[in-house]
Amino acid sequence: MSAGTLQGDKTAKPIRGAGAVRHFLDIDRLDTATLRGILDSARAIKRDPGAYRRLLDNRTLAMIFEKPSTRTRVSFEVGTRQLGGEVVVLKMDDMQLGHGETIGDTARVLSRYVDAVMVRTTGEERVHELAAHASIPIINGLTDQSHPCQIMADILTYEEHRGSIAGRVVAWSGDANNVAVSLAHAAVRFDFELRMACPASLGPSPALLEWAAGERTGRVVCTDSPEEAVRGADLVVTDTWVSMNHTDVDNRHRLLAPYQVNERLMSLAKGDALFMHCLPAHRGEEVTDGVIDGVHSVVWDEAENRLHAQKAILAWCLGA
């Protein structure tokens, strides 16, 4: 979606295209022009939200949660309502999907009731199967493999503070989790260098690195040294060490302790470097209070921008 296709006129109605359904599944599945258009729209909506308060009139978003959520649920629900739409929240216990109905049948039924579905789930195959059987847009709100909505908000946040992210150096310190994977996708699509500092046993998959190496823009490199990754970086990013699907808590803490983003590590980045964390943060583990509350941190702007980025994703998916 280019910036020009987003209509602020309160009488404008979303355009039903005759082409393929616009799913937002992963950053690597969309081209740079489309992603840039979504970010341009996010900036426009954030700048003048009142102009877009009727954008999703008569549209309903269903949200499926197989995992608990704070930011994803609130930002999507508030964002949809601020654009004039309605929201239906579904948990597994509320649905026949949790009692034996197939994903394909669920997708077909929801396609008759609502205009789009956002799903926060475990395996990415569940999102892809929904998309394969749905005649409406499916949005990946998070899987164990990726978190594209978060990274769109992160790019929006960085560029608000420092201008274009193209050509910049982004350092990741921690395990190569779902956020790191989407950050690698973004490095290619938005043309920046990503240095991933991870323990050898918790590093990115060879397939991800091979994919990035085969693209013409961006650069993704991996090291086991957080100091090497952060030195001279424009942006430092981390995330919690233990997610809901992890059972090896003590081992992960032992492996990741050297990757904590603290004042010493942050001092190796550029003087005007930013710090981001998708939240929730486990203070004193992956990040210290001095960093997350310090002068480099933009985590609260980053959290707010989930709202604006997701409004623009909804608008693009629905052709608004």
Using CA atoms, how far residue 251 sits from 62, 202, 280, in Å, is: 38, 11, 21
Using CA atoms, how far residue 301 sits from 32, 277, 278, in Å, is: 23, 11, 11
Catalytic residue, candidates 149, 198, 222, 278: 278
Q: Let me know if 150 is a catalytic residue.
A: yes
Q: Let me know if 161 is a catalytic residue.
A: no
Q: Let me know if 253 is a catalytic residue.
A: no
Q: Let me know if 120 is a catalytic residue.
A: yes
User: Beta-strand (E) ranges in the chain?
Assistant: 60-65, 86-91, 116-120, 138-142, 169-173, 193-197, 219-223, 235-238, 274-277
Catalytic residue, candidates 22, 23, 54, 120: 120
User: 232: left (phi > 0), else alpha (psi -120 to 50), else beta?
Assistant: left
Alpha-carbon distance 150 to 182, whole Å? Answer: 8
Cβ-contact 253, 242 below 8 angstroms: yes
Tokens of 210: 């091979």
Our CA angle for 183, 190, 175, nearest 5°, is 15
Catalytic residue, candidates 82, 145, 150, 310: 150
Catalytic residue, candidates 22, 128, 133, 147: 147
Alpha-carbon distance 4 to 232, whole Å? Answer: 37
**Which residues are tagged catalytic?**
120, 147, 150, 239, 278, 306
